[in-house]
Each structure stands twice: as structure tokens, then as C-alpha cells.
Structure 1
């Protein structure tokens, strides 16, 4: 289903107040809500078909294949197929919106439990114009071991611009992050990136805030890096998205 009306985003166990939602969206020129009925991607979402080559020895390439994005049973499923051990290029999944200049996005999703991938929500124009919410599924990843809890946490990052260091913080992940729907949000405005989980502000970054028109992307991928994804997964790693709401300036 494709809708250009302003609709409140709700997640399991959390009902965001309609007035607050309308106030958040009021500062933007348009709002689009995607829900997943039938068996095809709704208008305005595109399955990525491109390859990211490894930039360091020992890492894996990952290729986004459209067949790994499926709409069924009211959800969009992004899958990294299992059984790709020994391959240099790992088939992965990603979807993208049109480009916007500043926006407020909310995604209702259930992340994958299968170790060996990363699930991401992010605005992206280039490696120096990027702001992310990411979840690394393997507890043995050094990125998880380095977290405050020493376990799997959400990672919020504004990628470095103009020679700066990344702006990055860890945030606690819900205990049922891989078994229930939660709402992930980013508010991107001039000079500010705000990150939300289930309607609650987690962080506001005022450094490395992108300034170029960017698409919003959701992906599920692997590069084999012991400091990042590890993997590839032994079995299918499936990320489920049930709703996306994007308020934006075209």
C-alpha cells in the first residue's frame, strides 16, 4: 500500500500520540507511508542491485540482489541466504527510497537473530554523508564486545565528514529485538541528527550531520570482518519490516 497522507506510526507495545506525530511531520513538505500488502514492493521503494567490494584483505564483497527482498504476509522481508560459506561475494538485501533533503523517518521492524549479519537503517549519499542505526547480530563481533555491556547493542553513528572522526554511541537493545516489532527513528534537520527507539530519544548529534540530499535505506548484509559482521550466516538471516513513515523535503 502507498499513501501520501500523514499517518501515525505505531509499534508493538508503544502507541505514539497522534498530536506529537503530526507536530513532528508538520515541518516537512510531504509525508509518505509504506505498508506491505500483496506481493510486490510499493511505489517509492526500490530493491538495490549493486555490489560493494571489500576494501581490506581478508574481507568479503557483498552484493545486493533484488530476489532477497520479498513482500509477503503484510511485511517486507530482507534476507541474507544461509550456506554461502567459502564464497568471496555474499548475496545480501537492501531497499532504498528516493532522495530527500532533511527528513523524519520511523521504521517498524523485527531484526534477525541469526549471527553473521548487520541490520541497518540510514540516510546515505556517500561514505561521508551518512547517518545510521545498526545492529550487529553476532555477539562475538569485536564491535559488540567493545560495547558498554560487552554484548549486542544498537549502534548510532554519523559518519565522519571533512576529516573528522565518526560521531558514534552505543545504545541498549530491547531484549526482544529479534522476536518483536520495535520502532526505529531518525530526525535529520540542519545541524542535527536525532535517533529514536520506540519513540524515545536516544541521542542527538550535532557533529558530522549530512548536508546533501540522501536516500533512506534499510539493509541486511555481511562482509566477514571480525570487528564488524563476522559471518556469513549459516542459515537464512531474515529481517522483517512492517511499516515505514517518511516526512521529508524533496
Structure 2
């Protein structure tokens, strides 16, 4: 959630991120419904640093040249971005977002349809996967800040990935073996 801005101090935001920072290549998926409140960036992304990042970003208030909303951005940071018309309202219902990342290529999918393939500035270092909601009040990016609470609703996440740290993988396997009962939650 990105709470309504009080008018004082920095704009708050929220995120979920993997405990693991040894993720190198994989498929990261989330079923999400964005906020209809303007002025927020909500996203699914892989991150190591500002030069090793893959994003699916949804902006809740950025106008485009045709007067519509340029809400969908697919990015390999720092400089490669495709911003197609979404063709749907990401706040009206839940949609499936997916990043497939292999050496030399990242692909972004929405509702099972391939929307972008990026082959430049593809990350090649291990990092983490995140979901977040934030605003910086920048009139050229997120707009905002939001005037009311902006919720990012996530109904599910699924990740298939390779790892680079055997000790972390062993700890992960131990945590997941203990995930039993009605909750069956495994901390990734």
C-alpha cells in the first residue's frame, strides 16, 4: 500500500521481497490488481542494483500522447523501456503478470500473452524478486503523490528460479520442509 500523502515529509510505500538474494534467472509471476488511485507506481521486478533490474511497472496516473493512460512499462534498467498501451484497466480486475529471464533475454507477459522481449541491458548477476507500491511525486513519472490510500492487491505469486548459493539453498529447503499444516507457507 502507498498511503495517502499527508503533505509533510517523504511519501511512504510498501513492498514484499524475497529473503533470497541468490536468484539468477527464472520465471517470476504475480496475479495482481492495481489501485485506481492516481499517482502510484506498482510493480513486479527483479533487482540487484540500479543497473541489474527487470521491471513490470504499472503507473496509476501517467497520461500518454493520445490522452489515455500509459500505465504499463517493461524495463531492463537502466535505459531500456517499452511502454505499450495496456489494452485493459489494471485496476478493474486481477491480471497475471510474468517475467521470464534467461541469459541474454527478458520477456514480459500479461494474462498469458507475450508483451515484450528485451535483449539489451539484461541482468547477469544474482539478486532478489520484489512486489511494491510507491510514489515519489515526480510529475514525469509516478505523478502524485496519492491523495488517498492506494492498495496493490496480490492474490498469488509463483517463482521458478536458479540459485547461486548452496548454503542459502539448504536453508531454504529446511524452511520449506517445515511449511506444513493449513498455512503451508514457505519463506522464499
Q: TM-score, normalised by structure 2?
A: 0.81
Aligned residue pairs: how many? Answer: 161
Structure with bigger RCO (C-alpha 8 Å, 6+ apart): 2
Cα 1:249–1:149, aligned 2, differ >3 Å: closer, same or farther?
farther
Deviations 1:121-149 (A, max 9, x none): 110000000010111111xx3xx325x66
Secondary structure of the residue aligned to 2:123 is coil
Q: CA RMSD in A?
A: 1.5
List per-residue Cα deviations over 1:52-74 (Å, max 9, x = no partner): xxxxxxxxxxxxxxxxxxxxxxx
Structure 2 gaps, min length 5: 164-188
Higher share in strand? 1
Q: Quick check: 2:70–2:83 contact (8 Å CA) kept in 1?
A: no
Whether 2:128 is the aligned partner of 1:215: answer yes
Q: Which residue of 2 aligns with 1:244?
A: 157
**d(CA) in 1 for partners of 2:70, 2:36:** 11
Select which of 81, 85, 88 maps to 1:172. Answer: 85
Alignment of 1:145-160 (within 5 A): 145-146=64-65, 150-160=68-78
- Matches for 1:1-250 after TM superposition, within 5 Å: 79-82=1-4, 84-97=5-18, 98-99=20-21, 100-138=23-61, 141=62, 144-146=63-65, 150-160=68-78, 166-250=79-163
Q: Supply the distance in 2 between the matched residues of 1:175 and 1:199 (Cα, whole angstroms).
A: 14
What is the rounded CA distance, in whole Å, between the counterparts of 1:176 and 1:229 in structure 2? Answer: 17
User: Does the 8 Å CA contact 2:43/2:131 hold for their aligned counterparts?
Assistant: yes
| Contact 1:85 1:232 (8 Å CA) reproduced | no
> Residues 117 and 222 of structure 1 are in contact (CA less than 8 Å); yes or no, is this contact kept in structure 2?
yes
Structure 1 residues without counterparts, runs of 5 or longer = 1-78, 161-165
For the Cα contact (< 8 Å) 2:29–2:159, is it kept in 1? Answer: yes
TM-score by length of 1: 0.61
Q: Give the Å deviation of 1:203.
A: 1.1
